[in-house]
Structure 1
Amino acid sequence: MSEKHIYMILHPSNFLIASSLTPDELGKHYLTGSNQYFNGKLIFAEIDLEYRNPYFEIEWALGELVPHQDGRPKATKFISAYRVLENMDFKVIKNLYLASSTGAVMELEERPFESYKNPSAFKIFAGITPLKILAMSTESFIQYGSNITQSKTKGAPKCFYTQIEFDANEFQKDFKDHPLMPSPIPGVHPAILDKAIEEIKTNPDKISKGIKLYSSFHEFPSRLIRHGFLFTSKDEHKFYPMPPLSEIEDKFYSYFKSM
């Protein structure tokens, strides 16, 4: 009898599925072997198999994981594709998985968040789901999430996002000397970054500035991810740190090669 899993897909879209595949197999399935082929990054989390919620028809979907007539396991069965994260309990989210475009998978474990010194006051946050806005902010990694989950105009009850490596001091120095320089942030013109920094500097009441309506997270090399990934709501957060490059190379070499 094939094993059963519940996965929450976080990127490129947010949906909940039942599956007979292991995390490694799921990454390869969506990125290299599925009719629903996706050319890019895949992020998903495994959900406790005992989890039940009236919003999700989990029991039905698990019952649909019947092997094909030739013995192949049933790869996936959709449970929901609408307001999934909003209706998910953080406590049942297990490990997080990043899959490269080649189907290589890296596993991340939850850890307490540790505060790190930033090279400048200006940080860049990339929304992954349900908000996909790319924003600049003077808030900390945790504070930013706390505020967007309480905002009625630009927020959502629960969010999943990351912080992108960015040194505003170094950037502005380089931009002043080389105005035609390539942008350190994929998909964003350097002039937009410079304008956002100056706008926040000159407005004491402004702590965040949207710089792109769609974060284009798929364009960011994994090496640009600072800290890791955060699930957040107004009451709680769940943090998955990005390992140092040396650890990724040692434990997840196939994924490392794709970075």
Structure 2
Amino acid sequence: MPTHLYLSLIPEALIASMLEPEDFGLYYAIGSAKRSRGQAVFFSLDRDKLPPASFPLAEIDAKCVPHPDGRPKTSVYASIYRVLERVPREALKALHLATDDGRVLTIEASEFVADGEDRTHLYQEFCPVGPRVVSRLNPAEFATFITDATQPIHVPRIVFAELTLGNLKNDPDHQDIDNLPYPNIGHLRDCLRELNAGGSPTKTVLRQMTGEVLFRTIRNGFFVGDTSGISAFYLPTRDELEREHLAWWRSAQSTFGH
């Protein structure tokens, strides 16, 4: 049985497993006697594109072996600290989103394409930090800004998703919020007003993600970026989700978070 390498974002960790992505997502979300259940967001990695000195791959292979009765090894934690910055973007093969009942949606990496729409953006950062921010910058610009080492506050690499703002994307005072499921809409409006007033290109809405990921609020997809560029993992369209990934989509819609 081959050994797979996964980069988990919740929490950040490099995990080796003999399970295929869908089975690993089910195991990681549903849990076991040792851990509670919950959502999982993780990348499958191309180990051939990992720098040889970044992780002890030989040691990982030695530990990730079948059980005496032949059952596959479900997980071996290889690293839990500053993992993302040691994994090149080109090593990220696919993103896997597991709901809390173990339904897994797999998204392949693709080239980032700016949609050209002039709007305010709402970003949820996932790794290595977890604030939720509004920004005038598009995803590529935001990734460059937040990883710029000349800035007093920056990170080496960032994973984030763009969330929907509905009618607030161009008008913070719009009365129809179309059932946006975010806490404290008044505070979100205030942040959007401050952003529109000028100054910093970003404004923090929440200091740290709380609760579960509301997959249904993701506007377009997840992004991984740094000063060298950005990789995009675009969600299927609503029509594609309903036609081709209905079980995952129904599970995602039943999640209540923040």
TM-score w.r.t. the length of structure 1 is: 0.88
Shift of 1:33: 4.0
Q: CA deviation at 1:76?
A: 0.9
Q: Does 1:211 align with 2:212?
A: no
**What is residue 123 of structure 2 aligned with on the other side?**
125
Q: Counterpart of 2:186 in 1: which secondary structure?
A: helix
- Equivalent in the alignment of 1:46: 44
Distance 1:173 1:52, change over 3 A: closer
Matching residue of 2:16:
18
User: Which stretches in structure 1 are left out of the alignment for 5+ residues?
Assistant: 176-180
Change (3 A) 1:65 1:107: same
3-state SS of paired residue (2:137) = coil
Q: How far apart are 1:253 and its partner, in Å? A: 2.6
Pick which of 234-243 and 47-56 moved more: 47-56
CA offsets, 1:147-201, max 9 Å, x none? 00115433201010011000324652217xxxxx8972523x1221121122123
Alpha-carbon distance change, 5 to 229 in structure 1, aligned in 2, over 3 angstroms = same
Superposed counterparts of 1:1-259, under 5 Å = 2-10=1-9, 12-50=10-48, 51-118=50-117, 121-150=119-148, 152-166=151-165, 167-168=167-168, 169=170, 172-174=173-175, 184-187=180-183, 189-202=184-197, 204-216=198-210, 218-220=212-214, 222-259=215-252
Unpaired stretches in structure 2, ≥5 consecutive residues: 253-258
Number of equivalences: 248
CA separation in 1, counterparts of 2:146 and 2:104?
A: 30
Structure 1 counterpart SS, 2:174: helix
* Alignment check: 8 A CA contact 2:31 2:37 kept: no
Please tell me the root mean square deviation across aligned C-alpha atoms, in Å.
Answer: 2.1
| Whole-angstrom CA distance in 2 between matches of 1:109 and 1:155 | 27
Query: How far has the Cα of 1:249 moved from its partner?
Result: 2.7
Identity %: 23
Shift of the 256–86 alpha-carbon distance from structure 1 to 2, 3 Å rule, reads: same
1:48-83 Cα deviation digits (max 9, x unpaired): 133343131122111212211222111111110000
